[in-house]
Chains A and B, each alone.
Chain A
Amino acid sequence: MSDALRISGAGRLSQAKSARFTFDGQSYAGIEGDTLASALLANGVHLVGRSFKYHRPRGILSAGAEEPNALVQIVRDDARKTPNVRATVQELYDGLAANSQNRWPSLSFDVGAVNDLASPLFSAGFYYKTFMWPKAAWKSLYEPKIREAAGLGVSPDKPDLDHYSSRYAHCDVLVLGGGAAGIVAALAAAETGVRVILADEQASFGGSLRFESGAKIDGQDGFAWAQVAIAKLSAMDNVRVLPRTTAFGYYAQNFIGLVERVSDHLKAPGHDLPRERLWQVRAKRVVLASGAIERHMVFANNDRPGVMLAGAARTFLNHYGVAVGRNVGVYTANDSAYAAAIDLKKAGVSVAAIVDLRDNPTGPVIDEARALGIEINFGRAVIRAGGKLRVSSMTVQPKNGGGERTIPVDAILMSAGWTPSVHLFSQSRGKVAFNDETKRFVPGTYAQDCVSVGACNGTDGLSASVDEAYAAGAKAAKDAGAKTTNGTKPKVDASESWSRGMLGAAPGAGPDTTVKAFVDFQNDVTAKDIRQAVHEGMRSIEHVKRFTTNGMATDQGKTSNMHGLAIAAETLGKPIPEVGLTTFRAPYTPVTFGAIVSHARGPLFDPTRKTAIHPWAEAQGAVFEDVGQWKRAWYFPKPGENMHAAVDRECVAVRNQAGLFDASTLGKIEVVGPDAAKFMELLYTNPWEKLEPGRCRYGIMLREDGFIYDDGVVGRLAPDRFHVTTTTGGAPRVMNHMEDYLQTEFPHLNVWLTSITEQWAVIAVQGPKSRDIIAPLVEGIDMSDEALPHMSVREGKICGVPTRLFRMSFTGERGFEVNVPADHGQAVWEALWAEGQKHGATAYGTEAMHVLRAEKGYIIVGQDTDGTVTPNDAGLDWAVGKKKTDFVGIRGLKRPDLVAKGRKQLVGLKTKDPKVVLEEGAQIVEDPKQAIPMKMIGHVTSSYWSQNCGRSIALALVAGGRDRMGDTLYVPMPDGVIEVEVTGMVFFDETGGRLNG
């Protein structure tokens, strides 16, 4: 069987290179260079899938990316099962395994095909109309059922084993489409020496030269010329040639997204090869040479396997050497299908008849067909196709009615004409214009620096296309800065030319409403559906499209949009341009998530930031938590300890001996310059001018609206130098906020900001033994309380390396923060750890840090504040410089709402049952017996078990909180109401004596 369909002497594949493949488990022979589609056809297989809605048997319509029917699942292994692959695009490799989709139990007997019989139920707008009532059934019943039945193919359910890569590229001229026009434009541009990228979605360049047997350029067969030209371009240093590469999106300022399919065509892709590569190209000029797509004829049962585009049949014959049938019929409304009939006839295939809807066309191809003895019928229509799993006949009738005649055929080749591919042009925001004479939308008004050439520009004929493309390529290069031109335009010796055709439904497509004449194959939209949409009140093509889903499948209506539009226009009685064309959107063809994600997965999904001390914590078995991009040690469990036990132990040890804490992630900014203090005065609420060098202060930063933005301890190193700390998560935005004011509001200040977050590793040593641990390692700093009181900073050395030693505390204990250059961080930590072991010190993590600070009522910005809390709300009014005349937020603080009574204020909460730990975020009410919805007067912001206090502790924002000291409030929870008492925020060492303890 296969031998007869693979025509000896036809096509360009080498018969010697065989490749075996399977389809639905059955083994077949193909040839290297085949697509899956051509290989199936060579084996006489036309039935390859079932349609989306009616489960009708479907075959192969096209030979390219526009394919709506032949969607298959390619299975490489258990993890790699790619659905919805167009068989016309998938290149064959030895061992390829493909399965049909959307059928059960088998492709030839599919239970879902009952939908076809029930099709009167599934008319346009079916889902909108049917599942309206009862409303509650939508979520529980209809939606799940519809979802189960909907969709094409099955997604792989295992992680993708392939990898994908990405590349930014820049060029002077980007040529999209590698047919004759694209190649010529690329040559013209490349010869000037500018940077050129030429991309085509096919494995081989040539475009329609693959099937145009009549084309001759520079004395060679058209396709052969194309290969020579591509070889020449590939050898040029200034040119990048990308086969198997689809331009899927055209974005602002000539930014184009391309996907290169790198290894889907390989039998065994090497481990290092990505499956696909995403190219993000910025081009000075773009030349669009995307060609044209042939339209089908809209008549009854035009979807039967074996009914296909005439140009596709020609491609299968002239490129792949495959006859799509033994006895074919042709149905056309333009000249191009004649060439298919002629080529097939010459290859020994019987051509039963050509049926031409036109009345009396003339031309050389018609004469040639007639001379070959092919029966030609003018003014007639194919009103229906016969057969089910494969077309068996075509029924012909005069187009204005009359006697029917049924002609047996095993394939019908159809052509309603060619639609210029204006997708990318339209995506570039160019406006298409309708040419009334040729009934085509062609590029009209350009929005970007691009130009269309050849068939996508509505230019007919190879000679005209080559002329246009050469001039456009040279001009694009010149516009992009080329100085020279030294090329020669290729000479077209022979070409084919055709135009015109028809749009909309042919006579065999109704008005009988039981007829299924498909407009959109992939979404099962018929001519009747479009008419019905208009009858039901849809006027705009955008509404018709959404109501019928015409053009909304993954093929985006490449073959169907123009027919759908014409039928709607005809039904509306309006000219086509008045009904409008739907907008083309990216992607041109489906793009894998893998390509879009490319490198950004696994460890490259997002940067994971680790401190210099991280390896030590990891070795100690610390459990880490994510804080923004940082990994921070959360707690350090000893063998057998759970989190609770570890945190309790860490908290107690810090208060009784000492603890070491990695605070390196704190944001740090060095503020330097003669106006440093002035700048600090403006950015923080506190006064800074009088802060002496060597001293520190807790600073609060507001936004202009008066709400707390960030906080941190600031040390003055010198009159003109401050070491500012910020919250871990706030570091980048605080830096941005400070730069913003410095650059745009206070540019007169002589001060500069430098992020030093990562310059310094920070080791907090806290607890009564902290000084004993640090002192032996420090040189040049007097560690006495007199010389180094609480809230001071000194520069000196520790373990022989420079340090900025802060005496400060976020625990309420005597404490220090040892800053050392990051590369020394772990060594200094290890030295301090060794000292600490002599004093019973522990390492503690962020959880213990949180508990210890909450015991002291120290707030955490972003946890106890939420962007609506003022310093007064937080009980930090003391940190606002009362005599200051300006700082960011000073005016905001005076806003009526911010000084009103009853604002939420930060207070402490003690549960009446000390063992009960409140849930953070829990709401607080005055009266738990009130009707629901209750009036909520605040919420819990921080809540912990405090081993040091022997009870639970909590902080909360409560309306008028400071006036409620001692009051009982209630926290209603799903399993009962919790009674709490309002208290001050300090739960431990209220007098603060331990800071010097």
Chain B
Amino acid sequence: MLLIRCPYCEEERPELEFRNAGEAHIARSANISGESDDDFEKFFFIRSNPKGIIYERWRHMHGCARFFNAVRDTVTDKFVMTYKAGEPKPSKLPKNSNEGVAK
């Protein structure tokens, strides 16, 4: 079970309290009704599914109930950082601690 830092509760909480909500930073058009088929396809159907860093939405379902954004590495399943809903995609990620350390 992962620990996930909720940016609203300002602490790490057990994964059981959370629920994934799909990819982040996919904006719904203010004029969605007039969107072309291609644009709607991109908005609704196409997801990046990357190997490595992914930007996702999570909800602290059984906690503060807020939706927030997270940066996760799909290879290591490690959370790099989390931030509040509505905040821009971080331009720079904190140094990733994914590489193992020899002791």
Q: Do chains A and B touch in the complex (CB under 8 A)?
A: yes
Which chain A residues border B35 with CB–CB below 8 Å?
A: 891
* Beta-carbon contact of A252 and B77 below 8 Å: yes
Q: A252 vs B72: C-alpha distance in the bound complex, in angstroms?
A: 14
CB-based contact B77/A745 at 8 Å: no
Q: Which residues of B contact A430 (CB under 8 A)?
A: 100
Contact between A446 and B103, CB atoms less than 8 A apart: yes
Who on chain B is nearest to A703 by CB? Answer: B44
A431 on the interface (CB 8 Å rule)? yes
B94 at the interface (CB under 8 A from A): no
Shortest distance between the CB of B60 and any CB in chain A (Å): 11
Do A451 and B103 have beta carbons less than 8 Å apart?
A: yes
Which residue of chain B is the closest to A742 with respect to CB atoms? B67
Q: Are the CB atoms of B67 and A891 closer together than 8 Å?
A: no
Proximity string of chain B (1-36) to chain A, C-beta cutoff 8 Å, 1 when within and 0 when not: 111000000000010000101000000100011010
CB distance from B73 to the nearest CB of A (A): 12
Given known A252-B1, A255-B1, A891-B33, contact A736–B59 (CB-CB < 8 A): yes
Known contacts A736-B59, A739-B67, A705 near B102 by CB under 8 Å: no
Contact A447 B100 (CB under 8 A): yes
CB pair B86–A890 under 8 Å, yes or no, is no
Q: How many chain B residues have a CB neighbour from A under 8 Å?
A: 27
**Could you tell me if A446 and B100 are in contact, using CB atoms closer than 8 angstroms?**
yes
B85 CB–A CB distance under 8 Å = yes
Residues in B neighbouring A252, C-beta threshold 8 A: 1-2, 77-78
Question: By the criterion CB–CB under 8 Å, are B44 and A444 in contact?
Answer: no
Residues from chain B with Cβ under 8 Å of A280 in the complex: 1
Interface of B is mostly: mixed
Interchain CB contact (< 8 A) of A892 among B1, B14, B19, B44 = B44
- B33/A743 in contact, CB under 8 A: no
CA distance A747 to B87 in the complex (A): 12
- Which residues of B are found within 8 Å of A253, using beta-carbon distances? 2-3
Task: Specify which chain A residues have a CB less than 8 angstroms from the CB of B78 in the assembled complex.
Answer: 252
A431-B100, A445-B102 known; A886 vs B32 contact (CB < 8 Å) = yes
Determine the chain B residues whose CB is within 8 A of the CB of A745 once the complex forms.
28
CB distance from A502 to the nearest CB of B (A): 28
Say whether B103 contacts A891, CB under 8 Å.
Answer: no
Is the Cβ of A747 less than 8 Å from the Cβ of B100?
no
Contact A744 B1 (CB under 8 A): no
* Closest residue of B by beta carbon distance from A452: B103
Which of A255, A451, A705, A743 has the largest count of B CB atoms less than 10 A from its CB?
A: A743
Within 8 A of B (CB), among A275-329: 280, 282
Digit string of A424-437 for contact with B (CB within 8 Å is 1, else 0)? 00000011000000
Across the interface, name the chain A residue whose C-beta is closest to B86. Answer: A747
Q: Are A740 and B67 in contact (CB under 8 A)?
A: yes
User: Is A251 on the interface with B (CB-CB < 8 A)?
Assistant: yes
Residues of chain A within 8 A of B28, CB atoms compared: 704, 745
Per-position 1/0 for B69-99, Cβ under 8 A of A: 0000000011000000110000000000000
How many A-B residue pairs have C-beta atoms within 8 angstroms? Tell me: 63
Question: Chain B residues near A894 (CB, 8 Å)?
Answer: 33
Closest chain A residue to B85, Cβ basis = A744
Residue of A nearest to B79 (CB): A253
Q: Determine which residue in B19, B28, B66 has the highest number of CB atoms from chain A within 10 A of its CB, and name it.
A: B28
Residue interface mask B42-53, A partner, CB < 8 A = 1: 001000000000
**B101 in contact with A744 (CB, 8 Å):** no
Residues of chain A within 8 A of B61, CB atoms compared? 736
The one of A431, A447, A451, A743 that contacts B67, using a Cβ cutoff of 8 Å: A743
Per-residue CB contact flags for chain A residues 441-460 toward chain B (1 = under 8 Å, else 0) read 00111110001000000000
Check if A446 sits within 8 Å of B59, measured CB to CB: no
Q: B40: which of A255, A431, A740, A891 is its contact (CB, 8 Å)?
A: A891
A704: chain B residues within 8 A (beta carbon): 28, 44
Task: Say yes or no: B44 contacts A705, CB within 8 Å.
Answer: yes
Residues of B within 8 A of A574 (CB): none
- Flag whether A896 is at the interface (Cβ < 8 A): yes
Q: Hey, which chain B residues are within 8 Å of A736, CB to CB?
A: 19, 59, 61
Q: Which residue of B lies closest to A282 (CB)?
A: B3
In the bound complex, CA of A255 to CA of B77 (Å): 14
Residues of B within 8 A of A896 (CB): 37
* A935 beta carbon closer than 8 Å to chain B: no
Q: Which residues does chain B contribute within 8 Å of A431, judged by CB atoms?
A: 100
CA distance A910 to B32 in the complex (A): 41
The answer, yes or no, to whether A964 is at the interface (CB within 8 Å) is no
Closest Cβ of chain B to A843, distance in Å, is: 36
Please give me the residue from chain B that is nearest to A890 by CB atom.
B33
A252-B1, A253-B2, A886-B32 are contacts. A744–B100 as well, Cβ < 8 Å?
no
Bound CA–CA A253/B101 (angstroms): 15
Q: Is the CB of A444 within 8 A of B37?
A: no
Residues in B with CB closer than 8 Å to A895 are: 37, 40
Chain B residues within 8 Å of A886, by CB: 32-33
Docked complex Cα distance between A894 and B100 (Å): 51
Chain A, 244-280, contact with B by CB distance < 8 Å: what is the 0/1 string? 0000000111010000000000000000000000001
Distance (Å) between the CB of A233 and the closest chain B CB?
Answer: 25
Of the candidates B14, B32, B77, B102, which one forms a contact with A891 in the assembled complex, judged by CB atoms under 8 Å apart?
Answer: B32
CB distance from A784 to the nearest CB of B (A): 42
The residues of A that contact B40 with a CB separation of less than 8 Å are 891-892, 895
Min CB distance, A471 to chain B, in Å?
12
Nearest A-chain residue to B33, judged by Cβ: A890
A725-748 near B? 1/0 per residue, CB < 8 Å: 000000000001001100111010
A896-B37 Cα distance, complex, nearest whole Å = 9
CB-nearest residue of chain B relative to A739? B65
Q: CA of A299 to CA of B101 in the docked complex: distance in angstroms? A: 40
Smallest distance from the beta carbon of B58 to chain A beta carbons, Å? 11
Please, how many angstroms separate the alpha-carbon atoms of A446 and B102 in the complex?
6
> Is residue A885 contacting chain B, with contact meaning CB distance below 8 A?
yes
Q: How far is the CA of A739 from the CA of B2 in the complex (A)?
A: 24
Chain B residue at smallest Cβ distance from A892: B44
B80 → chain A closest CB, angstroms = 13
Chain B residues contacting A739 (CB-CB under 8 Å) are 59, 65, 67
Closest chain B residue, CB of each to CB of A735: B65
Q: How far is the CA of A704 from the CA of B103 in the complex (A)?
A: 51
Starting from the known contacts A740-B21, A740-B59, A891-B33, 14 additional A-B residue pairs (CB-CB under 8 Å) come to A252-B1, A252-B77, A252-B78, A445-B100, A446-B103, A447-B100, A704-B44, A739-B59, A744-B86, A747-B85, A886-B32, A890-B32, A890-B33, A896-B37
For this complex, 11 residue pairs linking A to B, each with C-beta atoms less than 8 Å apart, are A253-B2, A253-B3, A430-B100, A445-B100, A736-B61, A739-B59, A740-B67, A743-B66, A744-B86, A891-B35, A896-B37
The 7 closest A-B pairs by CB, nearest first: A445-B100, A891-B32, A743-B67, A447-B100, A890-B33, A253-B3, A745-B28
Interface residues in chain A, defined as those with a beta carbon under 8 Å from any beta carbon in chain B: 251-253, 255, 280, 282, 430-431, 443-447, 451, 704-705, 736, 739-740, 743-745, 747, 885-886, 890-892, 894-896
